[in-house]
Structure 1
Amino acid sequence: MRISTSQMYTRPVSLMTQLTAEADKTQTQIATTKLGVTAVSDAAAYVKLQQIQRATTGDATYKSNINVAQGVLSQADQTLDSVETQLQRALELATRAANDTLSDSDRAAIGEELGAIRDTIYGLANTKDDIRGQPLFGGATGDTAYVKNADGSISFAGTGEPSGIPVADGESIQPSISGQRVFTTADADMFAIIGNLADALKSGTDVKAAAGTALTGINTSLNTVALARASVGARGARLDLKSEQMTNVAETREVARSGMEDTDIPTAVANLQKTLTVLSATQSTFTKLTSMSLFNYLK
């Protein structure tokens, strides 16, 4: 088969163009560490990469929400711990108040301290979280959990349960707890319990009976706070598990993404060297070919 002059030149030029383009592409992949997957170069991988990107973006939002919820729950637990400390002191004072040997001044002093404890718990009940600035123990609405009424009583100002924070598709967790489940339950109103005993001590009327009622109420309140802390702890553990699961999924997803999108540098460098070697040989051959005269070629 006779080879035309044009074929002798066209084929090497075409091969050099192809090799140059391949070398340029590989160099870009090495420099950017990305394979540059497009809908044209690899449709299936491109679609999968888009899905991974959307999932990663969604998980970033959920991860942020989990961090917020963990922070709020941690603060709620610390605040409830402070409430327990105040109640323990109130229990000690109520036990002392039941002692008939106390003087009027002693009872008055205990009454004053109980009043201060009540105010401290009121302040704790109105604690706002450090992250969102929302009441730790509020309801679904309202900027304040508890208010003092004109008669001196303290009542819950919110309505409903605190809103949940989305932590996964179709899953949310309440990062705080309604004060109605902690401070003013159906079984015990710790503000009224402590306040009634404080008033009785200050007035000196029927102190022993008031102390007995307070002891029962404070113990009930301590149990209620313990249950609230257990609930907060359970939700915290659930968030820890959810965070760990999300991390594992993210790692698996990253392996899949890297396999489709990232450049295998050692392999790419080897391929580049091979391509450049072939390109150099082709250029050398083409140079010799173009320097030959038609006469020498036909000889």
Structure 2
Amino acid sequence: MQVATSLFYDRNAAAMQALQSHADTLNTQVATGKKLTSASDDPVAYQTLRGIATATANDTAYKGNLTLAGSLLTQTDTTLGSITTQLQQASSLVLQARNGTQTADSRKIIGQQLAGIADSIAALANGKDARGQPIFGDANGGAAVTKNADGSYTYATTTGSPIPVGEGQTVQTGDTAARVLTFGGKDTLGVLSTLAASLQAGTATDGDMGQAITDLTDAGTQVSDVQASVGARGARVDILQSTLTTTANDRETLRSGLEDTDTTAALAELSKTMTILSATQASFTKLSSLSLFDYLK
């Protein structure tokens, strides 16, 4: 069989070019640490990597939101705990006032203290979170608790927008003042202010004080129920944070397998390729230098 000289050169040149191109690719992979330099290298893997990048960006935002939600829920829980403390103090004062040894003047002082506790609870309920939003009111910034001219109280019945913490998932970090401070058709601050006024006026009866103790116990139970709900939301945030971390680790493992260069394997392959290229070049040089007389020997 006869092989044309041009065909001989073309075949060898193509082989050496392919080897050189493969060596260049391996060099680039080692230098950049990336196996894929363009979508054409592996279209399926490239598309998967784009999806991973999008999911990672979304989870970065969700991670920040979860951190914020956890912090705000802690603040809400702390505020509810402070309200509970105030209610316990109020119950203790009413028990003192109900003691038969108390004088009218001492009951008047207790009434003043109860009025101060009502103001303190109202101030706590009107507190704002780290974002400057009402903890127990709506996102418009209105007061969660408003004291009316007749001494009664109006409570916010809506709260701020929930925080997105995952695909289709949100967490409400606050609650409504109405849920925190109303129970069984009564309101906590109304109970306190009414008894405070009657103690200061000297008109409070033993029955009034007994009913107030019962009402304050119910008020404390209501606050505890809300606090338990906040605690459950906090536990959910913890679970979501843990899940997010696990998902991020799994996603990174997948990304690395698709994109990152196995440096040891790539260097070994490069060494093998360069050896073959050198041998091919040497062979081509030797064969191309032979004359007809060399073939006839």
Q: CA deviation at 1:290?
A: 5.0
**Cα gap change, 1:97 to 1:298, in 2 (>3 Å):** farther
Q: CA deviation at 1:289?
A: 4.3
Deviates more, 1:111-120 or 1:284-293: 284-293
Question: Is 1:280 the counterpart of 2:278 in the alignment?
Answer: yes
Q: CA deviation at 1:220?
A: 0.7
Q: CA deviation at 1:26?
A: 1.0
SS of structure 1 residue aligned to 2:39: coil
TM-score by length of 2: 0.90
Name the CA distance, whole Å, in 2 between partners of 1:270 and 1:70: 49
User: Which residue in the other structure is 1:214 paired with?
Assistant: 212
Name the CA distance, whole Å, in 1 between partners of 2:94 and 2:271: 87
Q: CA deviation at 1:293?
A: 5.0
User: Which residue in the other structure is 1:4 paired with?
Assistant: 4
Q: CA deviation at 1:292?
A: 4.7
Deviates more, 1:146-155 or 1:21-30: 146-155
User: Which residue in the other structure is 1:114 paired with?
Assistant: 114
TM-score by length of 1: 0.89
User: Which residue in the other structure is 1:257 paired with?
Assistant: 255
Moved over 6 A (4+): none
Q: CA deviation at 1:97?
A: 0.7
Cα-to-partner distance string for 1:248-293 (whole Å, 9 max, x where unaligned): 2232222222221111121111111111222222233344445555
Question: Is 1:83 the counterpart of 2:79 in the alignment?
Answer: no
Are 1:100 and 1:208, in contact at CA under 8 Å, matched by a contact in 2? no
Name the CA distance, whole Å, in 2 between partners of 1:240 and 1:40: 41
Cα-to-partner distance string for 1:39-83 (whole Å, 9 max, x where unaligned): 322222222222222222222233322222222111111111111
Are 1:20 and 1:279, in contact at CA under 8 Å, matched by a contact in 2? yes
SS of structure 1 residue aligned to 2:41: coil
User: Which residue in the other structure is 1:103 paired with?
Assistant: 103
Name the CA distance, whole Å, in 2 between partners of 1:128 and 1:160: 15
Are 1:141 and 1:160, in contact at CA under 8 Å, matched by a contact in 2? no
Ranges in structure 2 where 5+ consecutive residues have no aligned partner: none
> What is the letter of the counterpart of residue 226 of structure 1?
S
Identity percentage of aligned residues = 44
Q: CA deviation at 1:191?
A: 1.0
Ranges in structure 1 where 5+ consecutive residues have no aligned partner: none
User: Which residue in the other structure is 2:170 paired with?
Assistant: 172
Match of 2:269 among 268, 271, 274: 271
> Over aligned residues, Cα RMSD in angstroms?
2.2
Alignment of 1:1-299 (within 5 A): 1-36=1-36, 38-130=38-130, 132-139=131-138, 141-156=140-155, 158-289=156-287, 291-292=289-290, 295-296=293-294, 299=297
SS of structure 2 residue aligned to 1:100: coil
Q: CA deviation at 1:298?
A: 5.8
Cα-to-partner distance string for 1:121-169 (whole Å, 9 max, x where unaligned): 1111011111x2211111364432122223343322x343443222233
